[in-house]
Structure 1
């Protein structure tokens, strides 16, 4: 057998070639798991004294989507627990909780979530599983209805103690990108809320299953959607809770693993059959793809021949500081809860936007100009709107709802709390 077809570590038969090196199955599994172990090096079995094992001092919460990447992270963390139990007579350095946000009401899966979780529980006996419906984000929440104008101004046209629903929320969102953006905001909110709940009993770290390619996709999609200020919070690791916007440690154990390597790992570990896709598939027509789908397609097409691109994007993102670190008087965005300076987003948007058209040169342009002026006059904010509360929105959320005339969103607060957050 030639050197070119043998594993670079043990000279066994090559199962995969990646990063300009050959690996057999066992060596590749070890190679990938070592990256996860390094990120979770604090999850070791602790001893009070020789022979006296302490209970787990940390809880690892892994958000799962039933996709390949989060499934791989779950398998790696579970394998670490199995090794600890075998080595230290059933001792464990951490507890493992997998949390799934059920978005099937908005984007159905090929299998029922309860059926999938039942299969995962059989495969990963040392992990606990929690399924949270997306609708939980609306429970006990007031509903705030926003009136949104084409000039990007928004006003609170109604506040109701009755909660809205997933379908009501999505029905008023016109574009696929905006739908995915709002759903991701709700998903992250529910995951962080569950992590904070678990943190009350045991210090909890959120271990996201994003691989390097996915983090690169997330970096560019956040930038395109006007949420560049979230890159520091969502792409970077925050092992110190003081550095995290959620107040909890957040890590990315797979941030040095490429997405095309994940299916090989899952296949070698015999867990590929546990991955489940959504019923809806991405369109074959580029113009019908969402921003997230476009970014995914872009990196999937280039990473095989240019694997360094994704890691370069992630390393560049890691150099970004928190844009709000030195700012005072910030209040949370009504929709995504990002810290934002009141009215700054709208002012900046107005300053960079050309608001007046060029002078008409032909009769046809003159007619179109008059028509546009009439429509703008009819839409222009009236005296009644001027007295309505102005919501505090970040630039990204203003862009997300720009094609929506009316938008109803859950707000976990009383009417007075909501009014106190608005600028009158």
Structure 2
């Protein structure tokens, strides 16, 4: 049985919650009507915000919250729910609690992506009450982000770094690192108090296994769970919703969000040379979510039990991704060889680079 089934044929079944309307969807074995389902999705998000104290009272200072959008179903749906909440509070005369700043990072210079300039215009027209900013991934250097140990010289520094990566997985891995670091740097420079990531349960499950396979398992608490990164509160309000639920919600509300959604499901390349770990994990969970949604939820619950506090004491930041580097020597000669292969400085001494295991293995190759 799929996660969400359209109920057709036979005698209509009343909604399990309101008992007034006919069932249109079966969500996690519960029959729901259209209104109860949309309320179910919105409640999941707002409860997560309340748990992280993203709310508003007259005695609380208004916060500025950054929402990065990729024009996938999750980020666009999150924007819709937040906009609806702010509108409801304004109509009730209540303190809104926060201002929303929407950020889009253009990656077209390094990835073959669909032009979303028209989609950005449609998004700002439908939700005009918020601030919108578009920046390029190449702007990461303008925000003071450096990737030590990698060649940062030349006009096309980002393209040069990506082209020097040894595999397709390494290239995608580095682009994800650059995008995440740019979002955090932009939030700090713009004075945002929090960042709301639109990762669904399915996306977090994909990230959990793919980052572990790439050697970044130790960084999962920072990549998949609510918490502080470089002084910025990072929150995942959609982490309790599966991708199928979000997609159904986006097509069900009036007017639907589908014209604003341009993201497509990742496709695994037919060539093994271009196949990435991220693509394989996306394909795997896309099929698992249909018949075994509990597996997806269990992966996320397991990763949520990881505690980052034990890693914070006495650890250094990775020179590439910025995550914590374990003080325990579990990389052995492999990690040592990567570090020692860096060119000497003017004094003839090797630079003291701190590399996490993931960057040492997948995102960094000794430079000539």
Is the Cα–Cα contact under 8 Å of residues 15 and 22 in structure 2 kept in the other structure? yes
Aligned to 1:275, which of 261, 266, 271? 261
Q: Could you tell me which residue of structure 2 aligns to residue 294 of structure 1? A: 280
Deviation at 1:338, TM superposition (A): 1.7
Residues in 1 aligned to 2:244 and 2:171: alpha-carbon distance in whole angstroms: 27
Deviation at 1:8, TM superposition (A): 1.5
The question of 1:173 aligning with 2:144 is answered no
Q: Could you tell me which residue of structure 2 aligns to residue 322 of structure 1? A: 308
The question of 1:128 aligning with 2:131 is answered yes
Deviation at 1:184, TM superposition (A): 0.7
Deviation at 1:336, TM superposition (A): 0.8
Q: Could you tell me which residue of structure 1 aligns to residue 120 of structure 2? A: 117
Is the Cα–Cα contact under 8 Å of residues 73 and 263 in structure 2 kept in the other structure? no
Distance 1:249 1:384, change over 3 A: closer
Deviations 1:237-286 (A, max 9, x none): 12xxxxx2321211111111001111111011211110113799542467
Q: Could you tell me which residue of structure 2 aligns to residue 13 of structure 1? A: 22
Aligned to 2:209, which of 207, 211, 220? 220
Q: Could you tell me which residue of structure 2 aligns to residue 368 of structure 1? A: none
Aligned pairs, number: 351
Structure 2: unaligned runs, 5 residues or longer: 1-8
The question of 1:334 aligning with 2:326 is answered no
Is the Cα–Cα contact under 8 Å of residues 342 and 392 in structure 1 kept in the other structure? no
Distance 1:3 1:33, change over 3 A: farther
Is the Cα–Cα contact under 8 Å of residues 289 and 296 in structure 2 kept in the other structure? yes
Residues in 2 aligned to 1:381 and 1:303: alpha-carbon distance in whole angstroms: 43
Distance 1:325 1:166, change over 3 A: closer
Residues in 2 aligned to 1:135 and 1:179: alpha-carbon distance in whole angstroms: 15
Deviation at 1:197, TM superposition (A): 2.1
Corresponding residue SS for 2:135 = strand
The question of 1:93 aligning with 2:97 is answered yes
Is the Cα–Cα contact under 8 Å of residues 14 and 22 in structure 1 kept in the other structure? yes
Deviations 1:22-45 (A, max 9, x none): 222221111000011111223444
Residues in 2 aligned to 1:349 and 1:229: alpha-carbon distance in whole angstroms: 17
Deviation at 1:397, TM superposition (A): 0.3
Aligned to 1:192, which of 184, 199, 203? 184
Residues in 1 aligned to 2:121 and 2:152: alpha-carbon distance in whole angstroms: 40
Q: Could you tell me which residue of structure 2 aligns to residue 362 of structure 1? A: none
Aligned-residue CA RMSD (Å)? 3.2
Distance 1:20 1:336, change over 3 A: same
Corresponding residue SS for 1:195 = helix
Aligned to 1:47, which of 13, 37, 58? 58
Q: Could you tell me which residue of structure 2 aligns to residue 256 of structure 1? A: 240
Flag the structure with larger Rg. Answer: 1
Residues in 2 aligned to 1:383 and 1:297: alpha-carbon distance in whole angstroms: 40
Deviation at 1:217, TM superposition (A): 0.8
Distance 1:23 1:190, change over 3 A: same
Q: Could you tell me which residue of structure 2 aligns to residue 399 of structure 1? A: 361
Deviation at 1:143, TM superposition (A): 7.2
Distance 1:103 1:185, change over 3 A: same
TM-score of the superposition, structure 2-length normalised? 0.84
Q: Could you tell me which residue of structure 2 aligns to residue 308 of structure 1? A: 294
Deviation at 1:71, TM superposition (A): 0.9
Aligned to 2:89, which of 75, 84, 93? 84
Q: Could you tell me which residue of structure 2 aligns to residue 150 of structure 1? A: none
Is the Cα–Cα contact under 8 Å of residues 342 and 367 in structure 2 kept in the other structure? no
Structure 1: unaligned runs, 5 residues or longer: 49-53, 147-155, 239-243, 356-379, 408-424
TM-score of the superposition, structure 1-length normalised? 0.74
